[in-house]
Amino acid sequence: MDAPPIRDAAVVFHSGTILAVGSAQHLRQKYPHAIREDLGNVVLLPGLVNAHVHLELSDCRCGKPPAGGFAAWLLQLVQRNSQPGSQIESTVTQAVRIGVEQCLRFGITSVGDITRQASITRPLLRDGRLRVTSYGEIQAMAQRRNLFTERLAVAADATFASDWLRIGISPHAPYTVEPFGFAACRTAGMENHFPLATHLAEAVEEAEFLSHHTGPFRELWKAIGQWDERVPTFTGGPIRFAQSVGWLELPALLAHVNYCDDEEMSILAAGRAGVVYCPRTHRYFGHPPHRWRDMLARGVNVALGTDSCASSPDLNLVDDARLIHEIAPDFPVESIWEMVTIRGAKAIDGEQSIGSIAPGKCADFVGFGVESETPLREILESGKTPLRTWIAGQAVEHQP
C-alpha cells in the first residue's frame, strides 16, 4: 500500500482533513484533547475509489449478455437514452440515487462517473454525499458530427462544480467520436484542467471498424441510422488511434483496454495514460484474459472499476477485487488494494487529496471488521462488507 498497514493504529482528523496517522499510543499523547473512538478489531482503509462507473445506469439489471454481443448490448443503452425528456429525468434521478447508495454501502467514497445526462446528474451530485469526478460524455460521429460543439459545451459546463463534484470530459469511444472530437476534448481538458476519460479497446471489433468501417459497430450505426462516408478511417487499432490524437501523452483515463498486443503494450507503457480494468464486466462479456499484470509491470497505472449495473451485478468494487484475487491468487493482496485506492485516485486525477490515509488528505475511510493476522487477504477471501464508511470525517448514514 501507499502506507504500510499499522497495527494498533490511530488517525486524527479535523474539519474533514487528516492531521496525523500513526500508533494509537503516540497519537493519544500528542493529541490529548481529541475526541476518541475505539473501533476494536477493524482494519481501516482509505475510502475506496471506483474509477469507472455510470451512476445513471444503476437501475439496470445486467442479466445474460445479448446474443448479438457487445454492439447489441450498446444498442439497448442507446434506446434507453432516447426516452422522452420527462421520463429520462425521473429514470436517471432514481438510478443516481440507487448508485450513490450502493457506492456508500460498499465503502466507495470517490468515483469516476461517466454521464451522458450531465444536466440531470450534476445538480443531484453537487452537494455530496459521494465525491464525484463527473466526466460529461460526448457522442458525435457521422451525421451527428455537427452536434459535437454543443455536446462538448454541455460536458464541460462547470455550473455545478463543487467541493464534491469535479468536472471531466469523456468522448465516448473511437466508434462514436471522430479524431477531431478527441483532439478538441484534449484541448478543452488541458485548458480547463478537466480530467479526460474514454472507453478504449473494449471490444475486439473496434480495430476493424476503425480501419474499414465494417463489422458489428457498423451494424450498430445502421440501426442508429445516421451514418455518412465522411468519417475518416484509421489503421492500427484503438491504442494507436489514442496515440494519434495525443491522448497517451496525458494522464487520461482509458476504460477497459481489454485488447492489447505486445506492440500496443509498449506504446501504452511509453505514455502517461492509465487503464481502468473492470473485472466483473470483463467476465460478463467473455473477453480473453486482461493483461493488467503486464501493464502494471510495465509501469502503467491500472485501477479497478465496476462499470455500470448494465454489465455488472452491482457496484461492489470489493467483489471486483475478489475476482482478480481469484484469477491471480499469487499476486500480492496489498497491490490489489492499491488498485481500488491510490491507483484509482491517480486514474481520476485525485491522488493529491484521496486514495491513501495521509496527513493533508481527505478524511475518507472504510472500516472492515477482521479476525485474522492477514486482514487484507481475509476481506478478499470472505464476503465481508464494510462496517462503516466515513467521508470528510463524517460516518455515512445509509438511506433506505
**Least distance between Zn ion and beta carbon 278 (Å):** 7
Cβ(179)–Cβ(244) under 8 Å? yes
Q: Which is nearer to Zn ion, 101 or 307 (CB)?
A: 307
Which residues, other chains included, contact 64 with Cβ-Cβ below 8 Å and sequence gap of 6+? Answer: none
**Least distance between Zn ion and beta carbon 344 (Å):** 15
Closest CA to 198 of 139, 152, 254, 247: 254
Cβ(46)–Cβ(365) under 8 Å? yes
Q: Which is nearer to Zn ion, 307 or 364 (CB)?
A: 307
Cβ(95)–Cβ(57) under 8 Å? yes
**Least distance between Zn ion and beta carbon 267 (Å):** 22
Q: Which is nearer to Zn ion, 178 or 307 (CB)?
A: 307
**Least distance between Zn ion and beta carbon 114 (Å):** 6
Closest CA to 257 of 282, 286, 220: 282
**Least distance between Zn ion and beta carbon 137 (Å):** 9
Query: 354 forms bridges with which residues in the sheet?
Result: none
Q: Which is nearer to Zn ion, 113 or 307 (CB)?
A: 307
Torsion of CA 353, 307, 212, 272, to 10 degrees: 20
**Least distance between Zn ion and beta carbon 70 (Å):** 11
Q: Which is nearer to Zn ion, 199 or 361 (CB)?
A: 199
Residues that bind Zn ion (CB under 5 A): 307
**Least distance between Zn ion and beta carbon 30 (Å):** 45
Q: Give the C-alpha separation, 176 to 171, whole Å.
A: 8
Q: Which is nearer to Zn ion, 307 or 319 (CB)?
A: 307
Q: Which is nearer to Zn ion, 280 or 377 (CB)?
A: 280
**Least distance between Zn ion and beta carbon 112 (Å):** 10
Q: Which is nearer to Zn ion, 116 or 346 (CB)?
A: 116
Closest CA to 54 of 10, 120, 2, 9: 120
Under the phi-then-psi rule, with left for phi > 0, alpha for psi from -120 to 50, and beta for the rest, what region is 355? left
Q: Which is nearer to Zn ion, 307 or 351 (CB)?
A: 307
Q: Could you give the 3-state DSSP secondary structure of residue 299?
A: coil
Which residues, other chains included, contact 172 with Cβ-Cβ below 8 Å and sequence gap of 6+? Answer: 137, 138, 139, 198, 199
Q: Give the C-alpha separation, 302 to 339, whole Å.
A: 7
What is the widest separation between alpha-carbon atoms in the chain? 72
Q: Name the grid cell of 181.
A: 472530437
**Least distance between Zn ion and beta carbon 52 (Å):** 6
Closest residue by beta carbon to Zn ion: 307
CB neighbours (10 Å) of residue 32?
A: 8
Cβ(252)–Cβ(223) under 8 Å? no
Strand-by-strand arrangement of the 274-277 sheet: 197-200, 253-256, 274-277, 302-304
